[in-house]
Amino acid sequence: MDLYLLRNAKAAKDGKANDNNDDDRPLTKKGERKIIRVAEAMRDLELKFDAIITSPLLRATHSAEIVARSFRMKDSVHHSSHLAPHGNPSLLVKEINTKHGGTSGLLLVGHEPSLGALISMLLVGDNSLQMIFKRGGLCKLSVEQLSYGKCASLCWLMAPSQLKRI
Mean pLDDT of 58-78: 95
- For residue 165, the model assigns a pLDDT of 87
| 3-class secondary structure, 140 | strand
36 has pLDDT over 90: yes
Q: Is the dihedral of CA 121, 125, 128, 132 positive or negative?
A: negative
- For residue 3, the model assigns a pLDDT of 98
Q: Is the dihedral of CA 136, 137, 141, 146 positive or negative?
A: negative
20 has pLDDT over 70: no
15 has pLDDT over 90: no
Q: Report which DSSP code applies to 143.
A: E
CATH entry, 2-163, from 3.40.50.80, 1.10.357.10, 3.20.20.30, 3.40.50.1240: 3.40.50.1240
166 has pLDDT over 90: no
Q: What confidence tier does 23 reach under pLDDT thresholds 50, 70, 90?
A: confident
| Domain edges within the chain | 2-163
pLDDT in tens, 73-113: 989 999 999 999 999 999 999 999 999 988 999 999 999 99
Q: What confidence tier does 132 reach under pLDDT thresholds 50, 70, 90?
A: confident
160: amino acid identity, one letter: P
Query: Are 6 and 38 contacting, i.e. CB atoms less than 8 angstroms apart?
Result: yes
Q: What confidence tier does 16 reach under pLDDT thresholds 50, 70, 90?
A: low
